Amino acid sequence: MNQYVVSVHTGKNLGDEKFVRKFLRDWCRDLDPRLRPEFFDLGEPVRKSLAGPGFEQAVKVWLEGLPSVMLARRSKPKFLADIEWRRDKGLDKRPFPWGVTVYLATSAGDELAGLLLRFLVRHLDPVFGYVTTRDEERRKHQLSFQDRLGLVQKYVGLDVGETLPGIYWKTFLGRVVVPRPSLLEQLPAYGVEELASGWLVTAYATARASGTEEAQKAEARIMDWLGRAQFFDIRNVDVESLRSDEQTVAMVEAAIRAKKSGTPNRPH
């Protein structure tokens, strides 16, 4: 089933207690009732209620910094929200590693999907964000290739780094990723508006057009205007760089053999 994908990327510290409380409170109590989460958990299935004392439990779980805190709504329109944040960044070199991605039922409609993106932008101070459909995100970012371990499907190009993920039905561009704000004054888009710490660009009238020839042409015009080189293109991915190396293959195969034989796979 196709869904809206509402996603933002940020470098903001999502572990500050004051922020966490306000963010959850505003989402649970002040946002449009049709977009309010009802449950939380660490990963799926998401089944702990946010009602009553559940709110404080959710705050506590979030602040522990264990990946990944998820929110869900079971009433229509349903959604599942994945909050990407860890207290320990570790070896993660991404400049904007954190964020929120919400998979929202299409029954919500464009208005609510856009409202949810605005809410996330205002609270998370993102560098980049977007609303598209699940099918369109797959088309632009899911790569299938034959690896040494078999057929692999991998999402690529979704991080903000050397390139931006792309242009979608709605795309939020933070000030840090817009080299010349003057470029937005005559941007060939359906709509452009200043929002929080950046600009919200609407490429075409409705998300239902995502993936159509006209929508792709509209996105291409925007990328050409802003500079196509700064946007990810799945056609330019070096598949060889994604394949498992011989050491990884050997480790995986050894683990599989050990599991089948019932023998612990001990590292040498």
**Cα–Cα distances in angstroms (integers) from residue 169 to residues 5, 192, 214, 217, 245, in the given order:** 11, 12, 12, 12, 37
Global pTM value? 0.90
Give the mean pLDDT per block of 10 residues along the chain (268 residues): 91 94 97 98 94 95 85 98 88 91 98 98 97 97 84 91 96 92 93 96 98 98 96 92 63 60 52
Please give the pLDDT value at position 88: 81
Please give the pLDDT value at position 172: 98
Please give the pLDDT value at position 216: 98
Long-range contact set of residues 57-63: C-beta below 8 Å, sequence gap at least 24: 58/24, 59/17, 59/20, 59/21, 59/24, 62/15, 62/20, 62/24, 63/15, 63/17, 63/20
Q: How far apart are CA 95 and CA 115, in angstroms?
A: 26
